[in-house]
């Protein structure tokens, strides 16, 4: 194993060194090349949660590379404001404003149908939107909110936009990226409906966040398996620890203690932009990235979730979203 791979793995396992701004400061000496300038020209990408932190930074970087960026948020005012900020940051940027609450499955269906009327080909879909609701609450369809925003909504969007993502095959292919979290290492997958929906009366915001982020990683691997060999690649990733409005609001103590060491939003956005712009090969069974390298989905002392739990989880996602159950 090359020395850089060993150092990289040590950074990763130490958490603090790998996840903070120290990680990319060291890794950029050996990580793969940046996307070429202009490499996203003529390509179209949807970024969810683009009205804050990492999502805004992903949108700016993709626009700088020449992409048409569909900036999606749930507040129309905020979307307009962030689209304007992007146009100022990247003069000449091609930005399209999209409004949808991705946790509301009816809104997702309506928005996807509308987008497909306007767009034939999509080269990238970044499922970046995320939240850490402190109390359990439900969407109009009766799903717990973190589950709906991190898992059910992104799954339904992926399924409904597949025709446009598949149509990119003749123009370099497309990439779907799920923005998970390193927090998922602390959570296992659960397979019963009550556990998946957090109906067992023990809701905890941080745990629900971590568990739904674990679900994203499992879901992305399942999508990658389903679409293997075609023109649509599906990956998941984590951004490290990043200074964003979301972190300041949801984890104020962590934000204060780690403050100077946190990455800036661009540092958190880097791997998502690199994945969409360069479409690296990942042929194994896991597709979980951080700092431009594949990472384990469990640490040594943990076990991968068993096949039966994965099967029950995927079956629930299909049923809850009314989508294909052929995994």
Q: Which is nearer to ligand NAP, 48 or 175 (CB)?
A: 48
Question: CB under 6 A: which stretch of 37-45, 73-81, 167-175, 299-307 binds ligand NAP?
Answer: 73-81
Work out how close the CB of 87 gets to ligand NAP at its nearest, in angstroms, rounded to a whole number.
Answer: 17
DSSP class of 127? E
Site string for ligand NAP, 279-318 (x = CB under 6 A): ----------------------------------------
Q: Is 54 in the site for ligand NAP (CB under 6 A)?
A: yes
In angstroms, give the least distance from the CB of 136 to ligand NAP: 15
Q: Please, are residues 176 and 158 in contact by the beta-carbon 8 Å criterion?
A: yes
- Distance from the Cα of residue 107 to its chain's centroid: 20
Q: In whole angstroms, what is the distance from residue 77 CA to residue 181 CA?
A: 28
Among 185, 198, 223, 241, binds ligand NAP (CB under 6 A): 241
The reply on whether position 246 binds ligand NAP by CB under 6 A is yes
By CB under 6 A, residue 61 contacts ligand NAP: no
- Using alpha carbons, select from 196, 269, 277 the residue that is nearest to residue 237: 269
Q: Which of 67, 69, 102, 176 binds ligand NAP (CB under 6 A)?
A: 102
Q: Which of 30, 31, 78, 80 binds ligand NAP (CB under 6 A)?
A: 78
Q: Within positions 120 to 139, which residues make up the interface with ligand NAP, using CB under 6 A?
A: 128-131
Quick check: 196 and 319 in contact, CB under 8 A? no
Minimum CB separation from ligand NAP for residue 251, in Å?
A: 8
Is 106 within 8 Å of 145 (Cβ atoms)?
A: no
Enumerate residues 143-182 that contact ligand NAP by CB under 6 A.
149, 179, 181
Closest approach of ligand NAP to the CB of residue 44, in Å: 19
Q: How far is the C-alpha of 45 from the C-alpha of 209, rounded, in Å? A: 26
User: What character string, x for contact with ligand NAP (CB under 6 A) and - otherwise, covers 210-239?
Assistant: ----------------------------xx
Q: What number of helices (H) and strands (E) belong to the chain?
A: 15, 8
Q: Are strands 232-237 and 174-179 parallel, antiparallel or unpaired?
A: parallel
Which of 75, 137, 202, 324 lies at the binding interface for ligand NAP (CB under 6 A)? 75
- Residues sharing a CB contact under 8 Å with residue 205, sequence separation 6 or more, in sequence order: 132, 133, 134, 135, 146, 250
Minimum distance from residue 74 beta carbon to ligand NAP (Å): 4
* DSSP labels, 154-194: HHHHHHHTHHHHHGGGGGT-EEEEEE--GGGGG-----SHH
Shortest distance (Å) from residue 210 CB to ligand NAP: 10
Among the listed residues 19, 82, 209, 316, the single catalytic one is 209
Nearer Cβ to ligand NAP (66/130): 130
Give the nearer residue to ligand NAP in terms of CB position, either 231 or 246.
246
Q: Which of 322, 305, 105 is nearest to 217 (CA)?
A: 305
Strand partners, 177: 126, 235
Interacting residues of 302 by C-beta distance below 8 A, sequence separation 6+ = 185, 188
Buried residues in 297-311 as b, exposed as e (16+ CB within 10 A) = bbeeeeeebeeebbe
Non-local CB neighbours of 237 within 8 Å, separated by 6+ positions:
177, 178, 179, 180, 271, 272, 275, 288, 289, 290
Q: How far is the CB of 48 from ligand NAP (least distance, A)?
A: 6
203 is catalytic: no
Using CB under 6 A, list all residues that contact ligand NAP: 48-49, 51-55, 73-75, 78, 101-103, 128-131, 149, 179, 181, 238-239, 241-242, 244-247, 268
Task: List active site positions.
Answer: 209
């Amino acid at each position: 194993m090359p020395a850089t791979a060993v150092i990289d793995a040590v950074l990763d396992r130490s958490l603090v060194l790998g996840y903070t701004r120290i990680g990319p400061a060291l890794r950029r000496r050996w990580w793969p090349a940046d996307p070429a300038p202009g490499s996203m020209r003529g390509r179209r990408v949807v970024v969810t949660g683009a009205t804050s932190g990492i999502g805004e930074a992903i949108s700016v970087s993709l626009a700088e590379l020449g992409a048409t960026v569909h900036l999606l948020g749930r507040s129309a005012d905020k979307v307009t404001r962030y689209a304007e900020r992007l146009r100022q940051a990247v003069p000449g940027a091609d930005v399209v404003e999209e409004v949808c609450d991705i946790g509301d499955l009816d809104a997702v269906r309506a928005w996807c149908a509308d987008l497909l009327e306007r767009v034939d080909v999509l080269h990238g879909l970044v499922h970046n939107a995320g939240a850490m609701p402190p109390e359990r609450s439900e969407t109009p369809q009766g799903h717990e909110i973190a589950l709906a925003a991190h898992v059910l909504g992104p799954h339904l969007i992926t399924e409904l936009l597949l025709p446009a993502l598949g149509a990119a095959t003749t123009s370099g292919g497309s990439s779907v990226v799920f923005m998970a979290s390193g927090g998922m290492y602390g959570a296992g997958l659960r397979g019963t409906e009550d556990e998946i929906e957090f109906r067992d009366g023990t809701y905890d915001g941080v745990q629900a966040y971590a568990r739904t982020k674990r679900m994203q990683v499992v879901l992305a691997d399942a999508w990658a398996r389903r679409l293997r060999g075609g023109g649509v690649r599906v990956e998941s990733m984590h951004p490290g620890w990043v200074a964003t409005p979301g972190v300041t609001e949801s984890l104020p103590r962590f934000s204060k203690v780690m403050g100077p060491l946190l990455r800036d939003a661009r540092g958190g956005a880097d791997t998502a932009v690199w994945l969409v712009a360069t479409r690296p090969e990942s042929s194994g069974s896991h597709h979980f990235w951080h700092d431009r390298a594949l990472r384990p989905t469990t640490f040594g002392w943990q076990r991968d979730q068993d096949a039966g739990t994965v099967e029950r989880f995927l079956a629930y996602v299909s049923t809850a979203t009314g989508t294909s159950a052929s995994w």
